[in-house]
Amino acid sequence: MKIKLATFRLDFLRKRKNSEPDRFNALHSASQWTLIWAKFKDHKLALIGLYILAAFYLCILFAPIITPYDPWEDSKYIYSPPTPIHIFHEGKLHRPFVYNQEINTTPETFERIFKTDYSTPYPVRFFVKGAEYHWLGFIKSNIHLFGVDPKTSINLMGTDVLGRDCFSRNIYGLQISLTVGLFGVFITFILGSIIGGIAGYYGGVIDNIVQRVVEFISCIPTIPMWMALGAVIPQDWGNLKVYFAITVILALRSWTGLSRQVRSKLLQLREEEYIVAAKVSGTSGWKIITTHLLPGFLSYLIVSLTLEIPKMILGETTLSFLGLGLRPPTVSLGVLLQDAQNLAAISAYPWLLVSAVLVVIAVLAFNFVGDGIRDAADPYKN
Amino acid sequence: MKLFQYIIRRMSWGALVLLFVSFFSFLVIQLPPGDYLTSYMARLEKSGMSIDNASMVALRHSYGLDQPFLVQYGKWFCRFIQGDMGVSFLYTEKVKVIILERLPATLLLSITSLLVIYLISIPIGIYAARRQYSVGDFLAAFFGFIGMAVPGFLLALILMWIAYQGFGVSIGGLQSPQFMDQPMSWAKAIDFMKHLPIPIIVITMSGTAALIRTMRATLLDELGKQYVTTARAKGLRESKLINKYPVRAAMNPIISSGGWLLPELFSGETIAAIVLGLPTIGPLLYRALLGEDMYLAAGCLMILSLLTIIGMLISDIILAITDPRIRLG
C-alpha cells in the first residue's frame, strides 16, 4: 500500500518538497479531498470536462452580459446565417468587423437572399449599450460584452424564424437546460438518500416494501412514462411552474437508482467492524450515520449524482423537443431544437442544430467529470 | 423443480407489477384537468358548432366519465383483463384493434434491436477487454461516448438528413408509399429491409454503448483473476482459455442486463418512431397524450409495460438457467 501511494504521481507535492521523506510525510498527512483532487487531475478527459462545465456555468451566470441581444426580440434578419467576422477590409488589416447583410427578395420565388454589402465595415465593439436587462433579477443595466452598430447585426450562430439571435437564445437555453439537471439531481439526492437510507439502515419489512416500489417504477419504460407525466402538466401553468414540474418528473424516475445504491452501500457498511465498535462504545445513531457512515459513501453518492445530471439534461431536451416539456417563450436547448424538427429546416438552416451540439458537449463533459471523480474517489481501485 | 418454482414466483410477481402499472397508467391519464369531452367541445365551439348541456351530460354518462375515479379504474381494468381496452376517441375505433395493428412492427423492431445489441456489443466488448488501450479499444470507447451523449431523436434526425443528402431518399416510415397497400412480395421485402437500418441504429445506439462498457469492465475483472493465470500456465489454448471461462462468467451481467435494457429499448423505440414516423406503438401514445385520448394512452402505456415485464421475465428465466446461484438463492 505504501509503495503504491508513494509511486503514484502527485504533482502538488513535488512542487513543495523534493526530498523523499518529506514527500512521503506530505502524502500521508494529505486529507482525503487533497488526494482525490490530485488523482482527478491525472485524468485528462475529466479535467477538460471540468473546464468546459466551468465555462458553461460562467456563461449561464453572465448570460445577459455575454449575449449581444435580447433572446426574445424579433428582428428583420429572418433565418440569417451566422455572421462572418472579418479582419481584412479592401486588402488592409482592420480591427475585427462585420459587413452588413442586405435582404433582397427574388420576384419569382419570393426567396429571401442575403447579399453582403462590402462597402462599409462595422467594427465589433466591446461593452456596448444595447437591450436593457436585469442581471440576476435586480441589477439593471444595458451594457453587453460585445456588439455592433444598430444599423447592422452580429449573429454568431445565425437567427431563427422570427429573426431572433440564436447565439443569445442558446446561451439562455443553456441557462435552463443545465440548471434543470442540477435541480433535478438535488431532488433525486433528497428522495434517494432518505428513502434508500431508511431502507438500508432499518432493513426488514420497510426495506422489502421500498425495494418492491423501486422495481415497480423501473418496469415502466422511461420515455413513455416521462411523456405521460409531461402531458399531465396543465397548459395554463406559468413558465416557472412548468420548469419545476419538469424537474420533479425527471427526478421521479432517477431516485430509484440512487436509493438502491445508498441501500446496498449502507447494508454493507452496517456490518463493518468499525461501525459495530462505535455502537458498542455507545455512539448515538445520528453520530454513527453522520460521522462514520456518510463519509464512507459520500464520494460514491457524488459520482452517481454527477452521472445522473446528463441523463436529466437529455430527458429535458427530449421532452421539450416533443412538445411535452418546457414550452416557448421559455428557451431551453430542447425548445430551441423544436425548430429543427424536420429535414427541410435542417438542410436549409443547419445552424439551428448548434443547440444539439451544445447538448452533446454538456452531456459528454458531465460524463467525463463523473468518470474522473469515480476513478479518483474510489480508494479501493488500483 | 427449483427452477419451476422460481419461474412461478417470478410470474406472479410480474402479474402484481402489471396491476401497479395499470393503476399508475390510469391515474396519469386521469390527472389532466378536463377530459376528452371538454377538449372535444372546445374544438366544436371553435368551428362554430355548439352542443347543449343535456346532450353533453348524456355523452359524458355514456362514456362513464361522470363516475368517481376508482369506479372508472375498476371497470376499465376488468375489461382490460378480458381484452377490451375501450374505444379511442381520436380514431373512433377500438383501442385493441389500433394497438394490435401496430404490435407486429413494434415487436419486430424491438426484438431485432435486442439481437443487434447483443451481437455487436459482446464481440466488441471481448475485443476491447483483450486488447486494452489498443486503437480498437479507444474506438470502442469513443463510440460508447457518442452513444451515451447523443440523444436518440437527434441521431434519428441526423441519419435521416445524411440519407436524404447522400442518397436522395427520404427514409421515413418502414416502407415506401407505393408498397403501402400491396401484398407481400420480394420487392416489398427488399424495400422494407432498406428502411430498417436507420431505426435499428437509432434504437440500439445507447444500449450497445452501455453493454460494451459493461462487457469490457466485467471481462477485465475476470481476466485479472488467478484461475486465468493458472490456465495460461498450464498451456491452455488462448481462444479456449478466454471463451470457455472468463467470457462465460462475464456474460451474467449481460444476461441480467435484459432487465434494464428492455425499458430502455422501448424508450428509444418510442423516440425513434416519433421522429422517423414508424408505425409502432410509441407514436400512438404520443398522439393519444397530446389529444387527451385517455383509453388509447392508457392502453399504449399498459402494452409497453407488459412487453417490458414479459421481457424481464424471460431474461430472469435465462439467467436462472445459466446461473444456478440465482435459482437456489
Q: What is the pLDDT of residues A205-262, one digit of tens each?
A: 888 888 888 888 877 888 888 888 888 888 778 888 888 888 998 888 888 888 888 8
**In angstroms, what is the C-alpha Rg of chain A?**
26
CB proximity B242 to A under 8 Å: no
pLDDT, position A57: 92
H-state helical runs in chain B: 2-30, 36-46, 53-63, 69-81, 95-130, 135-149, 152-167, 186-195, 197-223, 226-233, 238-244, 246-256, 258-276, 281-290, 294-322, 324-328
Residue B39: is its pLDDT beyond 70?
Answer: no
Chain A hits for B145, CB-CB cut-off 8 Å, are: 364, 367
**Could you tell me if A227 and B290 are in contact, meaning their C-beta atoms sit under 8 angstroms apart?**
no
Region A337-344: mean pLDDT is 81
State whether CATH 3.30.470.30 applies to domain B102-328. Answer: no
The larger pLDDT score, comparing residue A165 to residue A111, is at A165
Neighbours of A8 (CB within 10 A): 13
Which residues of chain B from 126 to 155 reach within 8 Å of chain A, CB to CB?
145, 148-154
Q: How far is CA B197 from CA A306, A346, B124, B173, in A?
A: 33, 21, 19, 12
- Whether residue B28 and residue A220 make contact (CB cut-off 8 A), yes or no, is no
A314 CB near a chain B CB, below 8 Å? yes
Burial of B72 (0-12, 13-18, 19+ CB in 10 A): middle
Q: Please give the grid coordinates belonging to residue A369.
A: 467529470
Bridge partners, B165 (sequence order): none
The CATH code of domain A169-377 reads 1.10.3720.10
HSE toward the beta carbon, residue A33, CA cutoff 13 A = 3
**How far is B206 from B199, CA to CA, in rounded Å?**
13
Q: Mean pLDDT lowest for which of A243-247, A290-294, B226-230, B269-273?
A: A290-294
B116 falls in which pLDDT band (50, 70, 90)?
Answer: very high
Which residues numbered 35-74 in B keep a CB inside 8 Å of some CB on A?
A: none
Question: What's the confidence (pLDDT) of residue B124?
Answer: 92
Note whether B285 contacts A317, CB cutoff 8 Å. Answer: no
pLDDT of B128-147, one tens digit each? Answer: 988 888 888 888 888 888 88
Return the C-alpha torsion angle A257, A262, A264, A268, nearest 10. Answer: 160
Q: Which of B127, B217, B148 is nearest to A381 (CA)?
A: B217
B266 touches chain A (CB under 8 A): yes
Task: Round the average pLDDT of chain B to a whole number and report it.
Answer: 80
Among A216, A310, A364, whose Cβ lies nearest the Cβ of B20? A216
Q: Around Cβ A152, how many Cβ atoms within 10 Å?
A: 18
pLDDT grade for A381, boundaries at 50, 70 and 90? low
Query: Does residue B125 have a pLDDT over 60?
Result: yes
Residues of B in contact with A224 (CB under 8 A): 266-267, 270, 282, 285, 300-301, 304
Q: Residue A296: exposed, middle, or buried by beta-carbon count in 10 A (0-12, 13-18, 19+)? A: middle
Asked if B202 has any chain A CB less than 8 Å from its own CB, the reply is no
Query: Given an 8 Å threshold on Cβ–Cβ distance, is A224 in contact with B17?
Result: no
Question: In this structure, what is the dihedral angle of CA atoms B49, B55, B60, B66, given to the nearest 10 degrees?
Answer: 130
User: Which pLDDT score is estimated for B93?
Assistant: 81
**Averaged pLDDT, A165-194:** 89
Q: Is the dihedral of CA B186, B191, B197, B200 positive or negative?
A: negative
pLDDT exceeds 80 at position A284:
yes
Give A147 to chain B, closest Cα distance, Å.
Answer: 32
- Predicted model pTM: 0.82
pLDDT mean over B160-182: 68
Q: How many CB pairs below 8 Å do chains A and B form together? A: 116
Residue B69 in this model has a pLDDT that exceeds 80: no
Separation CA A268–CA A279 (nearest Å): 16
Chain A, nearest residue to B153 by Cα: A318
Assess contact for A220 and B308: CB atoms under 8 A.
Answer: yes
Q: Which residue has the higher pLDDT, A82 or B54?
A: A82
The rounded distance, in Å, linking the Cα atoms of B272 and B154 is 9
pLDDT at B157: 84
Residue A218 at interface with chain B, using a CB cutoff of 8 Å: yes
- The CB-side HSE value for A37 (13 A sphere, CA atoms) comes to 9
Q: How much is the pLDDT for A55?
A: 93
Can you give the C-alpha Rg of chain B in angstroms? 24
For residues A169 and A338, is the Cβ–Cβ distance under 8 A?
no
- Reduced 3-state DSSP string for chain A: CHHHHHHCCCHHHHHHCCCHHHHHHHHHHCCHHHHHHHHHHHCHHHHHHHHHHHHHHHHHHCHHHHCCCCCCCCCCCCCCCCCCCEEEECCEEEEEEEEEEEEEECCCCCCEEEEEEEEEEEECEEEEEEEEEEECCCEEEEEEEEECCCCCCCCCCCECCCCCEHHHHHHHHHHHHHHHHHHHHHHHHHHHHHHHHHHHHHCHHHHHHHHHHHHHHHHCCHHHHHHHHHHHCCCCCCHHHHHHHHHHHHHHHHHHHHHHHHHHHHHHHHCCHHHHHHHHCCCCHHHHHHHHHHHHHHHHHHHHHHHHHHHHHHHHHHHHHHCCCCCCCCCCHHHHHHHHCCHHHHHHCHHHHHHHHHHHHHHHHHHHHHHHHHHHHCCCCC
- Classify burial at B253, counting beta carbons within 10 Å of its beta carbon; exposed 0-12, middle 13-18, buried 19 or more: middle
The minimum CA-CA distance between A242 and chain B, rounded to whole Å, is 14
Q: Which helix (H) or strand (E) holds B94?
A: strand B93-94
A348 touches chain B (CB under 8 A): no
Pick the residue from chain B with its C-alpha nearest to A343.
B161
Which residue in chain A has the smallest CA separation from B300?
A224
Residue type at A103 in one-letter notation? I
Q: What is the mean pLDDT of residues A55-65?
A: 89
Q: Which chain B residues contact residue A337 at CB under 8 A?
A: 154
pLDDT band at A3 (very low <50, low <70, confident <90, very high): very low
Q: Angle, to 10 degrees, between the axis of helix B197-223 and the axis of helix B246-256? A: 130
Task: Report d(CA B280, CA A26) in Å as an integer.
Answer: 62
In angstroms, what CA-CA distances link A241 with A173, A184, A248, A301, B105? 17, 14, 11, 28, 38
Q: Residue A333 is placed in which grid cell?
A: 436547448
| Phi and psi angles of residue B217, each rounded to the nearest 5 degrees, phi first | -65, -45
Mean pLDDT calculated for residue range B251-259: 75
Strands B93-94 and A86-89: unpaired
Closest partner residue to B21 (CB to CB) among A220, A231, A363 is A220
C-alpha cell belonging to residue A104: 433582397
Mean pLDDT over A301-327 rounds to 86
The full set of domain ranges for chain B reads 32-84, 102-328
CB contact under 8 A, B154 and A346: no
What pLDDT does residue B329 have?
Answer: 55
From the CB of residue B20, how many other CB atoms can be counted at a distance below 10 Å?
17
Which residues are within 8 A (CB) of B179 and not within 5 positions of it... i.e. 6 or more apart? B187, B188, B191, B192
Is the per-residue pLDDT at A23 higher than 70? Answer: no
pLDDT of residue A5: 45
Model pLDDT, residue A4: 44
ipTM for the complex shown? 0.80
Put simply, whether B301 touches A (Cβ < 8 Å) is: yes
In this complex, which of A219, A231, A359 lies closest to B305 when CB atoms are compared?
A219
| Mean of per-residue pLDDT scores for chain A | 81
Which amino acid is located at A133 in the chain?
Y
Confidence at residue B63, expressed as pLDDT on a 0 to 100 scale = 65
Stretch(es) of chain A classified as CATH 1.10.3720.10: 169-377
More confident residue, A206 or B43: A206
pLDDT in tens, B71-106: 888 888 888 888 777 777 778 788 888 888 888 888
Show which of residues 156-175 on chain B sit within 8 Å of chain A, judged by CB atoms: 157, 160-161, 164-165, 170
CB-nearest partner of B161 from A231, A347, A364: A347
* Interchain pair B266, A224: CB under 8 A: yes
The pLDDT > 70 percentage for chain A reads 91
Per the CB < 8 A criterion, the answer to whether A147 and A68 are in contact is yes
Give pLDDT, residue B169. 62
Interface probe with A: pick from B99, B221, B270, B309, most Cβ of A within 10 Å: B270
> Given a cut of 50, is residue A1 above it in pLDDT?
no
Residue A213 has a CB neighbour count (10 Å cut-off) of 15
Cis? peptide before B151, omega within 30° of 0: no
- Nearest-angstrom CA–CA distance, A94 and A103: 25
Q: How far is B285 from chain A (nearest CA, A)?
A: 8
Check B151 against A227: CB less than 8 A apart.
no
Compute the average pLDDT of residues A29-41: 79
Nearest C-alpha of chain B: how many angstroms from A207? 17
By the 8 A CB rule, do A302 and A373 touch?
A: yes
Shortest distance, CA A62 to any CA of chain B (angstroms): 26
